[in-house]
Amino acid sequence: MSANRPLLSPLSSLIFATRWLQLPLYLGLIVAQCVYVFLFGKELWHLISHSVSMGEQQIMLIVLGLIDVVMISNLLVMVIVGGYETFVSRLRLEGHPDQPEWLSHVNASVLKVKLAMAIIGISSIHLLKTFIATGALGGIPLCTPEQMSVAAANIGVARCSMLTADGVLWQTIIHCVFILSAIGIAWTDKLMSGSHDKAESHGKSAVH
């Protein structure tokens, strides 16, 4: 034990130790990461095995789905690694050749901004998939329950659409709200960082 480390009271030690209650949550996210790896392999195999009979639009939708899985997986990595480093315990990766560049200066504010940007990226992929799928929205009727069951049994049989113009509009609006929220978070973080830097500079000037 370091001589400079302060001695905590039993109550303080207990409260501080409660951070380890988050450990099962991060382990659960690792399990979710494994599920996404399995899902990626499944979708990739489906693309390879059916690529000859698929059209360009179907292949594009599956590829966008694979990119979506990768981006969600990246989000999981940021939450697992950054969240554990910030809220539970140090990973002590200093000097490791594979240390993520963003981890060297991660804190709660930086992690929040990065998560917001990752969510925007995921939302962009979903919105792009929707725009591709709405190419024939005006000429294809909405699916009936019978057509939905046929489509579930054999993808591509039911010539109908699950999308509506209002649904696409709301998805676009929600995506714009995500962007505005990320801008607001980044702007607020910049203001707080600027105020903190000014306070530190004033403190140093007062000392001198």
Q: 3-class secondary structure for the chain?
A: CCCCCCCCCHHHHHHHHHHHHHHHHHHHHHHHHHHHHHHHHHHHHHHHHHCCCCCHHHHHHHHHHHHHHHHHHHHHHHHHHHHHHHHCCCCCCCCCCCCCHHHHHCCHHHHHHHHHHHHHHHHHHHHHHHHHHCCCCCCCCECCHHHHHHHHHCCCCCCCECCCHHHHHHHHHHHHHHHHHHHHHHHHHHHHHHHHHHHHHHHHHHHC
- Note the pTM of the prediction, 2 decimals: 0.66
Please report which confidence band the pLDDT of residue 196 belongs to, taking 50, 70 and 90 as the band edges. Answer: low
Q: Please tell me which residue, 86 or 164, carries the higher pLDDT value.
A: 86
Whether residue 43 is predicted with pLDDT greater than 60 in this model: the reply is yes
Side chain identity at 49, as an amino acid letter? S
| pLDDT per residue as tens digits for the range 75-106 | 898 889 888 888 888 887 777 777 777 666 66
Inter-CA distances, 117 with 21, 65, 114, 170, 172, Å: 27, 19, 5, 20, 16
Is the pLDDT score of 159 beyond 80? no
